[in-house]
Structure 1
Amino acid sequence: MTNDKPPFIAHLVELRQRLIRSVVAILLCFAGLAYFANELYTLVSTPLLDVLPAGSNMIATDVAAPFFAPFKLAFMLSIVLAFPYLLHQIWGFIAPGLYSHEKKFAAPILITSVLLFYCGIAFSYFIVFPLVFAFFTSVAPENIVIATDITSYLDFTLKLFIAFGLSFEVPVLVFILCLSGVTTVDNLKQKRPYVVLAAFVLGMLLTPPDVISQTLLAIPMWLLFELGLILSRVIKVKNTDSEQTE
């Protein structure tokens, strides 16, 4: 008598196990960050506090906001910290269905995806935030006192973190599309004007309605698209040379 499960049921069991591991990883990160929740919020709010007029400060318009806002930030940072492990679990689930030549690029793609995601977050924090907040505070009417709500600020910054983190994945997306045969480098080069236009449209949709943040998102997306084209062509040439050698 065999205990083997049907393939579909086995996949569901494996998916459940990997989801549980992912949730546990996030909770473990959260357990380590929760104690420092207030310090983390202070760190994230520094770009705004540095440009506020003298005498201005952040406020909490909700009674529970001083408690929940820092913990919400700590939880989101827990997901960011667990991101490499989450990608590892996703890869472990889909890897059995891939060909050997596709698996060869898995580790570089996963590592590059993680690094680019973190680079996008760092770019938004160190470059975008100081410029955007300096712009917003400088254009405020003379008689308006700037006192940003801590929950609104957190939602604003999280949106930008996610937008820039995902936009920095463009080279990986371009490489995967070319590797899988969905498109080619030459075909994408011909569509460059549409890609540039799409970058600015996405910048408009994913960022606040100001020219600075839209441009700071669109231009890196375009440059990263060009980087993806270069990498795809280089890898293609290397693969062609190796196949001819064999």
Structure 2
Amino acid sequence: MHMKIKKRYLTLLVIGVLLVSSTLGAATLAEGQAMLADIDNLSNLGGKDFSALMTMISEDPETGIEKTKVLQFRSDDDDKFLLLIKEPVVKKGQGYLMIDDNLWFYDPESRKFSHTSMKDQFNQSDANNSDFNSSSLANDYKVVSIEDGKLGNFSVYILVIEALNNEVTYPKRKLWVTRENTLVLKSEDYSASGRLMRTSYYPFYTKSEGNYIPTKMIFVDELIAGKKTTISISDISFKDIADSVFTKSYVERVNN
């Protein structure tokens, strides 16, 4: 009788240990929501301005490979950004200007601005205009599930998030976030119907003054096999940018 009780006690003890072990490192939905805020805080620049050169390689099975160079300017405090195409020559001077919650596309050939959307593709690539704006995951999404996982050699949390408004580009996303410093390494972007539209990779980051900037981004079109865009970022600067840069008049005259 004594042996039976002892065995039962040991069995319960093992089960208890297994249950505790299974919850170690696990995160709650509330903690997942806090991770979204951390991602925003680490990638957004606060009172700093940001400029860089983006080199984009777009691969399309129908049209081939196109190389584009873009000057990027951001001022997160004012929620403004400017993207100016420098190469190829046929697109030089085209610009995307975000001011007062409006995104404008400038065509130097017609010398006209036209209203466009953050959801639209940038320069017919696999990147969207929203990929270059400040991050607002915590305000735009809620975490509906979270689990532990691995991505290559990295221990990650895998978050499934759903949109809280209609302004976001993708209603549903799945994020692979590093456990160590809350950086997004991979994202699967879904339509409202649940169809996988795009997979994004962020393999390299640079850290400056407490912020993390992805220096390489790969956007893979999941609807067209072989179609993807790779963006490399260089010449990064956090020097102040004059307010006049974020104006239509600047975009009009900068390439004249």
What's the TM-score, normalizing by structure 1?
0.25
Which one has a larger percent strand, Structure 1 or Structure 2? Answer: 2
What's the TM-score, normalizing by structure 2?
0.24
Which one has a larger percent helix, Structure 1 or Structure 2? Answer: 1
